Structure 1
Amino acid sequence: MNTNSGFNAQAVSEHIIAWLKDYATNARMKGFVVGISGGIDSAVTSTLCAETGLPTLCVEMPIHQAKNQVDRAQEHIKALKGRYSNVSEAVVDLTPVFTTFQGQVPSSDDDFINNLALANTRARLRMTTLYYMAGLNHALVAGTGNKVEDFGVGFYTKYGDGGVDLSPIADLMKSEVRELGRYLQVPQSIIEAKPTDGLFGDDRTDEDQLGATYEELEWAMTEDEKGSKMEDFTGREKEVFAIYKGLNTANQHKMNPIPVCKIPKNLK
């Protein structure tokens, strides 16, 4: 499953940086706010924002967070602040907010459903926090989703990490984000870390939840865009293609515009 291509990290980086700067200038906004998770996507996004020279606020928002995720986030922010004078940081501990919320709402008898609802709540609390910080700083919330997550399998929370003002890396595959990370000198510990959404308070990875690696899903997304069918594959390829198609179908509600009920003119 080879998804490699002639990726020009320098040219792509320069293109995104110019796009970010132009967008902020045209929107008459001062800079960017980025939620930092300790993962490669938020590290690359925040570095690209910092490269614009505009004020870039990196926000940590732990909620019962695993120590290794917190450590990587802090390592990245420290390195970024050392390289860019326009980068600042804020830490908003949302654990007590989340705990209070959890104590005030009913729970389901189905542990899976209950845990998923709470995981999505974590993402939505973080979105609320980022927009609050953006409001204080007259800034834009920069999304950290990549192409496979945002347009392939829909691996994000609607109105959570999917609630952003602009998406600088959403046309890049995960492997391309990693290449960009190497070019932008993101800490090696982050580049090598197994991707995780960090929404469940444990060490489960994205692969654990998706049933396939990002490299496999990139391949499946490419094959789907070429018009390939399930019967074209066997073995693991067929299994991965089925996983991709299933997630892509189930999560169309995230990727499509909100449906509007159009009222016939004769009823108005």
Structure 2
Amino acid sequence: MQTEKVVNHIVDWLKDYATSSNMNGFIVGISGGIDSAVTSALCAKTGLRTLCVEMPIHQAITQVSRGQNHISYLKSHFANVTNVEVDLTPVFEQFKEVVPFEDENPNLHISLANTRARLRMSTLYYFAGLHKYLVAGTGNKVEDFGVGFYTKYGDGGVDLSPIADLMKSEVYEIGRYLNIREEILNAPPTDGLFGDSRSDEDQIGASYDELEWAMGRDQLGMNAEDYSDREQEVFNIYKGRNKANQHKMQPIPVCEIPVNLRN
């Protein structure tokens, strides 16, 4: 990958989109991970106003500190970067108090995890509406178009996606080019939605390198039967996730009314 040229292309694309949309800048949710770090750095490089928002909900201190250190780095290098912290933990706890809490429901934990992501989305759009900012998505290609590893109307609810055509490995390559902090580059990827230390790999059952391999083989028309052992397992994980999450990747289905029923 021609890293410098790709970075310049994304930065120009971001700036052109914001200018043509008559918007003042960008807003990015900062998690302490590589995707949000790279996205916010790319937005900062446009020279347009870039608001970095921390939204902890029972967040691990390591995630919080990585995010804060990254924001400090951006602010020391870009005068157009500002930040705000909104502690959503009390909001999340209040939410749990006013909805039926079904302890025995096997879907409870994933539903609450997705609720965290949707509270953050609402917060980002609150500030975006105040300042005429665009909400910049932080999803990469494997997450957004491979396994659908994001929350519908949560971190999937954005105005534009600057890194969604980049594989995770390419995001890391750009991160190194942009001098993203080593603590972020070395941190295991996590969505941080469960209040514990589980990583994305723990949840998915495969690493991003493995998923990139499977995504590439799937695009070539290969099948699980073409492989054995761990490769077959990874390929099946990828295909299973891809199939199950098509509802996130495809447009919302619209019930079209037949012309003859309108007469």
2:43 is the alignment partner of 1:49:
yes
Amino acid at match of 2:90: P
CA distance in 1, matches of 2:102, 2:186: 37
Matched, 1:264 2:224: no
Per-residue deviation, 1:136: 1.0
| Aligned partner of residue 59 in structure 1, secondary structure | strand
Q: Distance in 2 between matches of 1:108 and 1:16?
A: 44
The one-letter code matched in structure 2 to 1:143 is G
Kindly indicate whether residue 77 of structure 2 is the aligned counterpart of residue 83 of structure 1. yes
Query: In the alignment, is residue 177 of structure 1 matched against residue 164 of structure 2?
Result: no
Which residue in 1 is equivalent to 2:29?
35
Shift of 1:174: 0.3
CA distance in 2, matches of 1:91, 1:266: 55
Supply the distance in 2 between the matched residues of 1:108 and 1:151 (Cα, whole angstroms).
32
CA-to-partner distance for each residue in 1:169-226, whole Å, 9 max, x for gaps? 0000000000000000110100110000000011000000000000000000000001
Name the SS of the counterpart of 2:107 in structure 1. helix
Partner of 1:24: 18
Counterparts of residues 108-187 of structure 1 (less than 5 Å): 108-110=102-104, 112-187=106-181
Question: What is the DSSP-based 3-state SS (H/G/I as helix, E as strand, rest coil) of the residue aligned with 1:143?
Answer: coil
How far apart in 1 are the matches of 2:31 and 2:2?
A: 26
| Residue number in structure 2 paired with 1:3 | none
The aligned residue for residue 210 of structure 1 is 204
Count of residues in correspondence between the two structures: 262
Q: Could you tell me how far 1:257 is from its partner in structure 2?
A: 0.2
Distance apart, 1:137 and its partner CA: 1.1
**Aligned partner of residue 257 in structure 1, secondary structure:** coil
Distance 1:263 1:107 in 2: 39
Could you tell me which runs of 5 or more consecutive residues in structure 2 were left unpaired when the two chains were aligned: none
Match of 1:228 in 2: 222
**RMSD of equivalent CA atoms:** 0.7
Aligned to 2:83, what secondary structure does the other structure show?
Answer: strand
Q: Which amino acid aligns with 1:218?
A: E
The percentage of aligned residue pairs carrying the same residue is 68
Following superposition, the deviation at residue 28 of structure 1 comes to: 0.3
TM-score by length of 2: 0.99
Deviations 1:30-56 (A, max 9, x none): 100000000000000000000000000
Which residue number corresponds to residue 243 of structure 1?
A: 237
> Which one of the candidate residues 216, 236, 255 is aligned to 2:249?
255
- Whether 1:94 and 2:82 are equivalent positions in the alignment is no
Q: CA deviation at 1:18?
A: 0.2
Paired with 2:224 and 2:56, the residues of 1 have a C-alpha distance of 41
Q: What amino acid sits opposite 2:215 in the alignment?
A: M
How far apart, in 2, do the equivalents of 1:8 and 1:108 lie?
51
Runs of 4+ in 1 over 3 A off after TM superposition: 109-112
Correspondence for 1:69: 63
Q: Separation in 1 of the partners of 2:92 and 2:234?
A: 35
1:106 counterpart residue number: 100
SS of the counterpart of 2:161?
A: coil
What code does the residue aligned with 1:63 have?
I
TM-score of the aligned structures, taking structure 1 as reference length: 0.97
1:82 to partner: Cα distance: 0.4
Q: What is the distance in 2 between the residues matched to 1:148 and 1:44?
A: 16
1:230 to partner: Cα distance: 1.2
